[in-house]
A and B are shown apart, each in its own frame.
Chain A
């Protein structure tokens, strides 16, 4: 089945530093990828929609200057958490949809990145 690779799986960083998370579709192309954040015991909250070749679309309340998204190719999207603070500690998950699958195709998820900011 379709595979989405997310890297790193976990990262610990100091407050004020930036962290980049990569999301790759390994065997399919994705014009759109989605970035979610999940706090403990809560559901996945959509942060932004990453669009290949154009600007990302951010959900209300998500700072675009803090969470930089780049979708440079049909198989790669990156999320950079800039000037990270402890409250940014969370589980970040990317997902992608195979463009060949049409509008009814399901999402494929990366294995997530657990970010801890100290």
Chain B
């Protein structure tokens, strides 16, 4: 099982729709989680941090389910500018190594 797995996508939804992605992780000791968005040929940009059960920022809501070891990202009233690849990030800060593991990303395309 991969350390971090995401919905494969691509998601193609109309403007104004609500869309949700999931990300599962294997390390039960993980404490913090992040969603990044990456535009084509650009570096990832932090979208949301998820520390406890969830976090909401405007149209974006991230939820964490520790029992099932997944985090989700919900985008409401989607805009054309939301088209990007969304990356789930799970840091692993253990004694042997500090690593930041990325999911493979979910591509989202918003159509007019």
Spell out A's residues near B (CB within 8 Å): 32, 34, 36, 42-46, 49, 57, 91, 93, 95, 103-104, 106-112, 114
B105 pairs with A43, CB closer than 8 A = yes
Interface presence of B80 (CB below 8 A) = no
Contact (Cβ within 8 A) B32 A104 = yes
Instruction: Using CB atoms, name the residue of chain B closest to A109.
Output: B43
List chain A residues, Cβ under 8 A from B93. 103
B31/A104 in contact, CB under 8 A: yes
Which chain B residues have a beta carbon within 8 Å of chain A's beta carbons? 31-32, 34, 41-46, 49, 51, 87, 89, 91, 93, 97-105
**A110 neighbours in B (Cβ, 8 Å):** 43
| Cβ-neighbour of B89 out of A42, A49, A107, A112 (below 8 A) | A107
One of A91, A95, A111, A112 near B100 (C-beta < 8 A): A95
Q: Which residues of A contact B89 (CB under 8 A)?
A: 106-107
Closest to B35 in A: A106
**In the complex, what residue of chain A is closest to B45 when comparing beta carbons?**
A109
Docked CA distance A112–B42 (Å): 7
Most buried by B among A34, A93, A106: A106
